[in-house]
Structure 1
Amino acid sequence: MPDKITISVRSLVEYVYSSGSIDSRFRTSSTLLDGTKAHQKVQRTYNDSDEKEYYVSAEIPYEGLTFVIDGRCDGLLFADDRVTVDEIKSTSGDLQAITADTYPVHWAQAKCYAYMYAVDHQLSEVDVQLTYVHVDLEEKKHFRTSFRHDELQAFMMETIEAYFPYASLMVKHREERDTSMKELAFPFDAYRDGQRKLAGAVYKTIKDKKGLFAKAPTGIGKTISTTFPAVKAIGEGHAQRIFYLTAKTITRETAEEAFTLMQQQGLCMNAVTITAKDKVCFQDKTICQKDFCPFADGYYDRINGAVIDILANEKLIDRKTIERYARKHTVCPFEFSLDVAYAADAIICDYNYIFDPRVSLKRFFEEQKKQTVLLIDEAHNLVDRAREMFSADLYKSPFLEINRAYNNVNKQVANAAKTVNDHLLALKKQCDAQRTLLLDEIPETLLDELEAFSSHAEKELVQQRDGESEQQLLDGYFSAQGFLRIAQYYGEQYKTYVEYENSEVHLKLFCLDPSALLKQMGKNYRTKIYFSATLSPLDYYRDMLGASDEDYWLSVPSPFAKENVEVAIQPLSTRYRDREKTKAPMAKMIGQVAKEHDGNFLVFFPSYQYMITIYEQFLEEGYNIPTIVQDRGMSEAEREDFLAAFQANAEQKLVGFAVLGGIFSEGVDLKGDRLNGVIVIGVGLPQFGLERNIIKDYFNGVGKNGYDYAYVFPGMNKVLQAGGRLIRSETDRGVIILVDDRFLQQKYQALLPEEWRNKGTGNVSKLF
């Protein structure tokens, strides 16, 4: 029985007929949207006998494969015993600039519909019409051509022939993939304690189409314990694709290592890593226009060959591999990684590609989601990240600058920008003595003003004037559009606040509880697996990440002997009011611990400034111990140098100073004697401020402990993550010292891992 390739008409023609260059300039006339409103306006002009949103499909055999192609044509028009297939496209650009030959892909889409309709109804000829409609002016422009059945059939076969190399490659790959997955064994000689339990829970969750919240200790091997059962589930037909989602580069590398390990055991699977555009761009400035970037010029003319080449020859498609093939085929590495991702079996990327409504991968259709597993690593990070994704900011100064820049260029743009500027200025006057204003809704008329500004900005931007003012307008336009998009989600889980400093006014739609929106954005994916070493307290994370009553949960105990780690509590106050008084004892304690214990130490502080204060005091104490200090805004190379400084069995011990919740406090793997001790200064409470207090008040108002939700739980998560840097395997040994008298309180004791609780206090040098 021939293999079947199921594909929509739109996906097929976009693959075969897309051409030209990437162009980040504003071009509404070229990024035509099949906007619902514009379509409906045209469809309302149809006669009663006409059809709209008409479904068509066909099964077409070709070279041993059967192509199952379907879609919905916008309209079928019946007149004078003839049938016209109508394809509607909308634009806010200049209709006069569109000719019959401007968009071959639109003709291709309509001709596919016409062919399928002609076959179903045994027609010898069909008329095809492209209808372009202006979204604002409601003006229309038509192009119409008649095609014989044999012409449409020839066109259809040419289209399939062009798609065939890619399709046949994917069929062959999936046969090899599924066979290799069924034969794949766990890539280690044995499971660690707890690994089999976690892997089994992941497999069952995928099979049952549920969600899972798993708390598993650092060092257990969570990455292989989640990816391996997900791969096996694909091999058994329970899924087709894996997204491994994470917040940090270092954990993406761990996922790459897991897939590499399985590939070395015979797994045939394509795994691609998506790297942020600004990091992977080959040019000095990220200007995605053909005049500035050879990798953008003609991108769509070369991309199909590049995708086939990399998929045919590579399995682990990491950043370096993407860059190598991107240079070989002269294609943009970022866009290339996205195009490869749509074909890959596993995608390693940031959370935002799934959950952020402004960024997410739009070409994954609902049917694909149903066959996709989301593995969400370090899931504790998703709470605050989701708040950012579902929040939106608006600043006054860009609109004032646009008003000034366009006052003599485009009065409508200038006046629309001034209206937004004036609205924000009026809100500033309503602020209280603390320069803030808190609202339960979006300020009245602001959304209408932003819509008006966006409309006038669009018309100006399609003119593509060069210069700084156009970039200002483009930035302002995207800011307004982002704000309007988030405003659609606004509800009881939001607050609006205004704050100002000097002449700048900042308005924010602040998402306080992202759970419902995370649930909405993750809807229809087959399975979501949330896992972390610090998913504690579990009820808090289930609440904040949108768990349903049907979701499973799992807590895996530490597999490591309690004797592997010595934990002490040093009750020095780290409260802001006491820091000057405890500064000298704090520095002496660090020095004393490092002096009297072998190996390297990492000391984590609740803020950068506090770290520097204690570090300077440490130097004054005169300890002859080498140190290394985390700096603000470290490059990737500087981060790697920082970690590389921690060497096992070095002649001199090393004390590293770092920030809680920062780049070195989670996802860092200093195995064996590279790290022998961790000192955590403080209980990790986020800095007191406007946003945290708004969160606290909100959760108090819905019957939760607002202080715990806003401060205690996020803070203690940082503590647990920092302490988790120490014990990474069965052979690791070391010391963890928790410095703050609050660690002795029952509330904080209850949030510590069992093996950390009820430890002694006092002079730390006497505890070991």
Structure 2
Amino acid sequence: MKVARLVTPEGEKAQINISVRNLVEFLLREGDIDDRKGSVDPFEAMQEGSRIHRKIQNSMGPFYRAEVPLKYQVEYDDYIIGLEGRADGVVLDMDEDGTVWSATVDEIKGMYMDVMTFEKPVLVHEAQAKCYAYIIASEYNLPEIDVQMTYVSLETEEIKRFNQTYSFEEIEEWFLTIINIFRKWADFQYYHKQEVLESVQGLEFPYEYRDGQKKLVSDVYRSIYRRKILFMQAPTGTGKTIANVFPAVMALGQNLAERVFYLTAKTATALAARDAYSLLAQNGYEGRTIMLTAKEKMCLCDEADCNPDNCPYARGHFDRVNDVIYEIITKETVITRDVVLGYAEEYVVCPFELALDVSTWCEGIICDYNYVFDPNVYLKRFFAEGKSGEHIFLIDEAHNMVDRAREMYSETLIKEEILSIKRYAKPVSKKLVNALEKCNRIMLEYKRECDRDITVLDDIDMLLNACDNLQMIMEQLFKKEVKFGIYQDEVLDFYFRLRNFTALAYQQDPDHYRIYCDFDDDKNFNLHLYCIDPSAQLQQRLAMARATVYFSATLLPIDYYKDLLCNITDVYAIYVDSVFDQQNRLLLLGTDVTSKYTRRGEDEYMKFARYIQTIVNAKQGNYMVFGPSYKFLEDIHEKYQALGDDVEIIIQQQNMTEQEREDFLLEFEKKREKSMVAFCTLGGIFSEGIDLVGGKLIGSIILGAGLPQVGNERKLMSDFFDDEGKNGFEYAYLYPGMNKVIQAAGRLIRTKDDVGVIALLDERFRFGSYRKTFPREWNDAEFTTVDEVSLKLTNFWKKKD
């Protein structure tokens, strides 16, 4: 259900508008969640349904009026419920002077099933028709009215009709019952809105403003008011989370927006947003805020199998869920995962679906980027085709958005996977086997052309036509609920990737994409739709918001992010100065080492190890060492150990579990007599989004410039940006690499009381192209060598001690 929109024209009663379809689908839904009913693309089903609608409507004769818009108002003391909809068909019988004396409402429903087996209409379908019937009977003062339900099979075009005549008294009693059921939801919508508006009027910023923070809040509010996109470079300690949430909430209080989406890539930043909302709630803010969590993390069963036979929470979910929603939205303010799980267990409903339904009634939604931007998992209740709203997007850790967006808007077909699906299809459908074989033959032609590591293609029209046909055949099989035995999940996964591939292929263009093929490490042949510049795709989503704020501690150079995260030029950008005393940290640039591949070797590794030894020995405490790869870290660690320092060492492992990550970070909490050195990967799970405050970390040592590994894809990206008139090396290598460096360095100074050393060890940090990516507060960086660094460290720690 799309929440009824509260409309309050000047001097008039507030009006809550809701469509007839949304009303009945929300109030009268029933039964189970069942994922076994096939995978039908809702857009494709809607297109086919529209075609059938038009065909039936055109066959109904001259007195049949199609697509009749209808509106009706129910007035209460404080507000009006405005119902609106569009009847598929209406037949009005009139006498000679034009007076309507009888009417028939026709509701047409196209179904991917055998409608001839239907014994009665579906409850919500009939309810939709009855609402239209009541509106027409009221308008023309009819003593009775006819309702016709027309069901048509979308595959065979067979039609089955149900007809019923209602007296006006019957249809009015039924309609008023439905409206009275909705009354409590409308009451909540209206009175809760008043509470939110009133609570915001007296809401004050919950802290004493830090230096520059009041201007930051004003800049965010101004961007929202002016419907702008804002890019904000805000270093650690500037309080950027609350400085974004507070003005967004104030904008809600001025009726500038309906809803705020706080978008993030990591749990830590989502928790920071939760804490900001909780603080505002403690200070009187009455808005509802929910944290959305991935389905697999919400499931109460051992395995996510969403059907009534295997999941008690799916069985009868829709019979119970509305009662749970109402209880949550009337009792809770900041709705976390644990809150949702508690209610889901008590009422025995699916927690993931419950959370999505509750979000419809919330002013604040904290969630992953995917829920807004990913074409496969975005929240259709807010962002489906034709829907719009006065939303605010607050995008935290926005430096992650470039790579995340590239992943969202790219897709790959694997020739060997097509052959696997072909084997699974042999016992099921010869037609499907033939369609898969055609795709395989075309892929084989591309494979023959791919005579080197990577081949760029200009035209894949032949493959796209074959994929369209393959997708259509698979959808027909799913609609018939054809199964593939033990391979069902693999076939479904392939289908979803195929559907994504074809959808993106029709949207891609050479200004934003490259199509190329290559071989992976397992010698599989891959064809990639690679979105190098995601700005156009992102802009389609940004257009659904009133305003967007991209913010991060590392959003430099700002033009790079402007180019790739939106495709309009009329945007704002601000740089927030650091609030920390630069005297509390020593920033060193080691100019006599490098992580360049051409220089890697025993001597260079030993020099890195000596740097680590000297820095760690200068002051007892905890240090993090960041390297560009696990292999590089192993080599450095081996040399460092050979030096024989009496320190404790922990090393980040690949594919760590949540518990292993927590245990790793708990090592920084321990009191110890000797120093600890933690070896971590640059750009990995410990290089951003963690806070080690209060002396838990006194040194961040970065080995190398963090540039992405040279490879075919990066070369393709570099050439792409060169062709666009930009600096390909900087866009493909330098900026992504330096972002990792600045993030890792930022682990050190998290509060005004933190003190420590940042060492950037690579000769390339001397170059102007690298240093132009530095934050302003790095203007005091000192060059050093492994032989000079000891004295600099001694002087720094002597001052601090």
Q: Shorter-chain TM-score: which interval?
A: over 0.9
- Larger deviation: 651-660 or 706-715? 651-660
Q: Which amino acid aligns with 1:577?
A: T
Query: Counterpart in 2 of 1:73?
Result: 87
CA contact (8 A) 2:410 2:528 kept: yes
**Does 1:417 pair with 2:436?**
yes
CA distance in 1, matches of 2:123, 2:468: 32
CA-to-partner distance for each residue in 1:277-331, whole Å, 9 max, x for gaps?
A: 1122122222111111111111111111111111122111111111111111111
CA distance in 1, matches of 2:142, 2:714: 67
For 1:401, which of 420, 433, 450 is the aligned residue?
420
CA distance in 2, matches of 1:139, 1:595: 83
CA distance in 2, matches of 1:52, 1:686: 59
Query: Counterpart in 2 of 1:120?
Result: 139
**Does 1:477 pair with 2:500?**
no
**Does 1:52 pair with 2:52?**
no
Query: Counterpart in 1 of 2:292?
Result: 274
Q: Which amino acid aligns with 1:574?
A: S
Q: Which amino acid aligns with 1:684?
A: G
Q: Which amino acid aligns with 2:210?
A: R
**Does 1:348 pair with 2:366?**
yes
Q: Which amino acid aligns with 2:46?
A: D
Q: 1:451 to 1:93 in 2, by over 3 A?
A: farther
Alignment of 1:87-98 (within 5 A): 87-98=107-118
- For the residue of structure 2 that corresponds to 1:260, the secondary structure is helix
Q: 1:693 to 1:91 in 2, by over 3 A?
A: farther
CA-to-partner distance for each residue in 1:324-364, whole Å, 9 max, x for gaps?
A: 11111111121111111111110000111111121111112
How much has 1:743 moved relative to structure 2? 0.2
- Larger deviation: 728-737 or 407-416? 407-416
CA-to-partner distance for each residue in 1:645-670, whole Å, 9 max, x for gaps?
A: 21386433322111111111111111
Alignment of 1:728-767 (within 5 A): 728-757=750-779, 758-762=781-785, 763-767=788-792
Q: Which amino acid aligns with 1:407?
A: K
- For the residue of structure 1 that corresponds to 2:413, the secondary structure is strand
Alignment of 1:492-571 (within 5 A): 492=510, 493-501=512-520, 504-546=524-566, 548-571=568-591
Query: Counterpart in 1 of 2:471?
Result: 454
CA distance in 1, matches of 2:55, 2:264: 43
- Larger deviation: 53-62 or 329-338? 53-62
Aligned residues: 764
- Larger deviation: 1-10 or 680-689? 1-10
**Does 1:191 pair with 2:209?**
yes
- For the residue of structure 2 that corresponds to 1:198, the secondary structure is helix
How much has 1:430 moved relative to structure 2? 1.8
- For the residue of structure 2 that corresponds to 1:359, the secondary structure is coil
Q: 1:30 to 1:524 in 2, by over 3 A?
A: closer
**Does 1:575 pair with 2:580?**
no
- For the residue of structure 2 that corresponds to 1:720, the secondary structure is helix
CA contact (8 A) 1:23 1:296 kept: yes
Q: Which amino acid aligns with 1:570?
A: G
Q: 1:569 to 1:163 in 2, by over 3 A?
A: same
Alignment of 1:650-665 (within 5 A): 650-665=672-687
How much has 1:34 moved relative to structure 2? 3.4
Alignment of 1:289-688 (within 5 A): 289-364=307-382, 369-434=388-453, 436-441=454-459, 443-461=460-478, 462-465=480-483, 467-492=485-510, 493-501=512-520, 504-546=524-566, 548-571=568-591, 572-580=593-601, 581-647=603-669, 650-688=672-710
- For the residue of structure 1 that corresponds to 2:46, the secondary structure is coil
CA contact (8 A) 2:428 2:484 kept: no
CA distance in 2, matches of 1:637, 1:396: 38
How much has 1:479 moved relative to structure 2? 2.2
CA distance in 1, matches of 2:387, 2:223: 18
Alignment of 1:221-232 (within 5 A): 221-232=239-250
- For the residue of structure 2 that corresponds to 1:384, the secondary structure is helix
Q: Which amino acid aligns with 1:766?
A: L
CA distance in 1, matches of 2:455, 2:739: 31
How much has 1:718 moved relative to structure 2? 0.9
For 1:132, which of 139, 151, 165 is the aligned residue?
151
How much has 1:129 moved relative to structure 2? 3.1
Q: 1:587 to 1:48 in 2, by over 3 A?
A: farther
**Does 1:34 pair with 2:46?**
yes
- For the residue of structure 2 that corresponds to 1:145, the secondary structure is strand
Q: 1:182 to 1:507 in 2, by over 3 A?
A: same
CA contact (8 A) 2:577 2:777 kept: no
CA-to-partner distance for each residue in 1:175-210, whole Å, 9 max, x for gaps?
A: 22222221111111x111121111111111112222
Structure-2-length-normalised TM-score: 0.91
CA-to-partner distance for each residue in 1:145-172, whole Å, 9 max, x for gaps?
A: 3333333322222222222233323333
CA distance in 1, matches of 2:113, 2:675: 66
Q: Which amino acid aligns with 2:789?
A: V
CA distance in 2, matches of 1:407, 1:84: 50
**Does 1:251 pair with 2:274?**
no
CA contact (8 A) 1:211 1:552 kept: yes
Q: Which runs of 5+ in 1 are unaligned?
A: none
- Larger deviation: 697-706 or 49-58? 49-58
Q: 1:482 to 1:131 in 2, by over 3 A?
A: farther
- Larger deviation: 569-578 or 495-504? 495-504
- For the residue of structure 2 that corresponds to 1:160, the secondary structure is helix
Q: Which amino acid aligns with 1:112?
A: C
CA distance in 2, matches of 1:603, 1:268: 45
For 2:21, which of 10, 27, 48 is the aligned residue?
10
Q: 1:742 to 1:228 in 2, by over 3 A?
A: same
CA distance in 1, matches of 2:554, 2:141: 64
CA distance in 2, matches of 1:265, 1:749: 43
Q: 1:652 to 1:327 in 2, by over 3 A?
A: farther
CA-to-partner distance for each residue in 1:535-567, whole Å, 9 max, x for gaps?
A: 111111111111533322211111222212210
Q: 1:426 to 1:87 in 2, by over 3 A?
A: farther
- For the residue of structure 1 that corresponds to 2:545, the secondary structure is coil
- Larger deviation: 642-651 or 385-394? 642-651
Q: Which runs of 5+ in 2 are unaligned?
A: 1-11, 95-100, 794-801
Q: 1:98 to 1:701 in 2, by over 3 A?
A: farther
Query: Counterpart in 2 of 1:210?
Result: 228
CA-to-partner distance for each residue in 1:710-739, whole Å, 9 max, x for gaps?
A: 111111111111111112222222111001
Structure-1-length-normalised TM-score: 0.94
How much has 1:527 moved relative to structure 2? 0.9
CA distance in 2, matches of 1:646, 1:131: 68
CA distance in 2, matches of 1:514, 1:144: 52
CA distance in 1, matches of 2:389, 2:428: 50
Q: 1:565 to 1:70 in 2, by over 3 A?
A: same
CA contact (8 A) 1:50 1:77 kept: yes
For 1:233, which of 242, 245, 251 is the aligned residue?
251
For 1:61, which of 71, 75, 98 is the aligned residue?
75
Q: 1:135 to 1:682 in 2, by over 3 A?
A: farther
Q: Which amino acid aligns with 2:527?
A: L
CA distance in 2, matches of 1:651, 1:51: 86
CA contact (8 A) 2:467 2:498 kept: yes
- Larger deviation: 739-748 or 307-316? 307-316
